Amino acid sequence: MIRAALIACLAAAPAGAAEIWVTNEKDNSISVIDVARMEVIRTIPTGERPRGITFNSDYSRVYICASDSDAVQVMDPVSGEILHDLPSGEDPEQFVLAPDDRHLYIANEDDAITTVVDVETRQVVAQIDVGIEPEGMAVSPDGKYVVTTSETTNMAHWIDTASRKIVANTLVDSRPRHAEFIHDGAQLWVSAEIGGTVSVIDSATHAETGKVRFAVKGVHPDLIQPVGFAFTPDEGTAFVALGPSNHVAVVNTETLEVEDYILVGRRVWHMAFSPDHKWLFTTNGVSGDVSVIDVEKREAVRSIKVGRYPWGAAVRP
Amino acid sequence: MKHAFAALFAIAHREALRFLGQKGRLVAAIVRPLVWLVVFAAGFRAALGLSIQPPYQTYIQYETYIVPGLCGMILLFNGMQSSLSLVYDREMGSMRLLLTAPLPRWWLLACKLMAGSVISVLQALVFLAIAAAYGVSVPWFGYLAVIPALFVAALMLGALGLMLSSFIRQLENFAGVMNFVIFPMFFLSTALYPLWKMAEASPLLHDICALNPFSHGVELIRFALYGQLAPVSLAVVLGALAVFGAAAVWGYDPARGMTARKA
């Protein structure tokens, strides 16, 4: 009956055949979840330890960070075939595709560099020295800035995409793991896993202007480790994955207050919205499943079993 | 026929009056499970979530798990109390009046059972409403689907009480019923812990819990709260209802049952 109700809800929305692609770190595979049916419909093998995943703007290619294969793999999402590998530098973890759809900025965790790859010529265009253990990657909507966060240096490094030089560094809390631009690039949000906070940084001054703090009732503060996050289309709300606290926080982006905590699976990493933004899919590393959050009601409605240690998530409409 | 319904309404009316008249019992019926929900469940809160098991489709907190079990607790206590009031009736002589009615004895017992069960269901619904206000809610259709499940489970537990009441001579024995029926039934069930948790402790405990008809009553309620039918549990509950009911009718049969031996 619940299923019937869910299907009825979904039938009302123009969901189409939208999919959520999830990388399974330990299974070396991608689980493809059908948004309407909320079940895994396809499992695709990848290189070793796939983590970051992103589609290009027309969804004709999917890029996968195969960390232990030291490569970024390029896949045809229709056939699931790996077309070729891109040179990526060592241990790529996260990356971001510039708005020009051509330049991929890759964080090389072990080498303390950010590698810029041209996806057409398949050549490394530049390597930029950044802090120790770079991970989070973000690109401003106008494509002028790329930000790398380094987990050990605890900084967000602002890279000018024209000169490919670091133009500013912003100190954030311990172990920054994920970064996203908001408000048309005016603000940058950076999550700090050990610090347990999300820093809000002004893009013009590169200075921190606010901070989001979390407290889940009944959970030890050490377990509250913010990692991935995503904004609703109106940018009024942010959903922040809190790692081993098994909760996703719902944050008001104006007041920076946490409005709700949603219980999901164990060790929640990253997330992706369905194309209509009704559902939010979170990857739960330790429990090996993906929880589906009803965005409006702010509650998890079900958890879908995927491969071992799901990590990254991307939507394919 | 008209007569039979007159008896049903009279017994239901008396049951309702008795329940409403005992303010303490009304309050206790609601407060008891609430204490379990707010105090006991808080200690086991499981803020990091309990593993998924049907009918739940994602991770839940302990408060969510325990609510169907506490509904079962309400039915269990009320079923026992209402049936055991027959012992009181027997001592006070009002039972003689009831049993002299020119109607089959099983019908009189069934009337008593249904009247008590309706009150059990109402109590459980009040509890569910308070639990929803406290923050533990289910989909709206669950509140409708749970009504027949509550009623069947209440009938089963009430019939158990009726069966026991035919064997109990004095009201003072209620403490014994508490110790030897209510507590074991409640604790050795899925009301407080899922079956897999019991299996971790001991396979024997797991088997006892899996056989306990009260467990099946609780599971029937649990699945119904999410709009699902638990067929095995329904079968077990109906089977237990038939057995307890038949034993109660036998026990109250003046020619054969315990009442005969006493007289």
> Contact, A198 vs A229, CB < 8 A?
yes
> Contact, A181 vs A190, CB < 8 A?
no
The band of B54, judged by pLDDT with boundaries at 50, 70 and 90, is confident
Question: What is the pTM for the complete model shown?
Answer: 0.84
The band of A16, judged by pLDDT with boundaries at 50, 70 and 90, is low
Interval A286-292 mean pLDDT: 94
Interface test with A, best of B44, B51, B58 (most A CBs within 10 A): B58
pLDDT at residue B170 tops 90 = no
* B228 interaction partners in chain A (CB closer than 8 Å): 1-2
Least confidently predicted of A208-222, A233-247, B193-207: B193-207
* B146 interaction partners in chain A (CB closer than 8 Å): none
Distance from CA of A71 to the nearest CA of B (A): 35
The reply to whether B59 touches chain A by the CB within 8 Å rule is: yes
CA distances from A2 to A115, B138, B225, B233 (A): 47, 11, 11, 20
pLDDT at residue A265 tops 90 = yes
The band of A14, judged by pLDDT with boundaries at 50, 70 and 90, is very low
The band of B258, judged by pLDDT with boundaries at 50, 70 and 90, is low
The reply to whether B61 touches chain A by the CB within 8 Å rule is: yes
Q: What's the pLDDT at B260?
A: 52
CB contact under 8 A, B227 and A2: yes
Interval A188-210 mean pLDDT: 95
Interval B162-175 mean pLDDT: 78
pLDDT at residue A290 tops 90 = yes
Residue of B nearest to A287 (CA): B51
CB contact under 8 A, B48 and A5: no
- For A22, list phi and psi in degrees, rounded to 5: -125, 130
Interval A117-137 mean pLDDT: 92
CB contact under 8 A, B49 and A246: yes
CB-based burial, A149-186: b 16+ in 10 Å, e otherwise: bbbebbbbbbbebeebebebbbebbebbbbbbbbeebe
Rounded CA separation A55/A86 (Å): 15
Interval A36-50 mean pLDDT: 94
Tokens at A203, concatenated:
């893009």
The band of A13, judged by pLDDT with boundaries at 50, 70 and 90, is very low
Q: Name the residue among B45, B52, B61 with its Cβ closest to that of A303.
A: B52
The reply to whether A41 touches chain B by the CB within 8 Å rule is: no
CB contact under 8 A, A219 and B47: yes
CB contact under 8 A, B48 and A265: no
pLDDT at residue A131 tops 60 = yes
The reply to whether A301 touches chain B by the CB within 8 Å rule is: yes
Q: What's the pLDDT at A1?
A: 45
Range list of H helices, B135-230: 140-165, 174-177, 183-187, 195-201, 203-211, 213-225
Share the mean pLDDT of chain B. Answer: 86
pLDDT, tens digit, 9 for 90 and up, residues A220-263:
999 999 999 999 999 999 999 999 999 999 999 999 999 999 99
Range list of H helices, chain A: 2-12
CB contact under 8 A, B49 and A1: no
Q: Which residue has the tokens 């896993």?
A: A193
CB contact under 8 A, A2 and B60: no
Residue type for A83, please?
L
Q: What's the pLDDT at B29?
A: 85
pLDDT, tens digit, 9 for 90 and up, residues B78-119:
998 887 788 777 777 777 777 777 788 888 888 889 989 999
For A186, which DSSP code?
Answer: T
Residue type for A287, please?
S
Interface test with B, best of A242, A303, A304 (most B CBs within 10 A): A303
> Contact, B221 vs B72, CB < 8 A?
yes
For A21, which DSSP code?
Answer: E
Residue of B nearest to A1 (CA): B227
Interval A116-123 mean pLDDT: 93
The reply to whether B183 touches chain A by the CB within 8 Å rule is: no
Chain A residues 192-231 with a CB less than 8 Å from chain B: 216-219, 223
The reply to whether A37 touches chain B by the CB within 8 Å rule is: no
Interval B231-242 mean pLDDT: 95
Percent of chain A with pLDDT strictly greater than 90: 88
Size of interface A-B (CB pairs under 8 A): 52
Q: What's the pLDDT at A65?
A: 92
pLDDT, tens digit, 9 for 90 and up, residues B134-147:
988 898 999 999 99
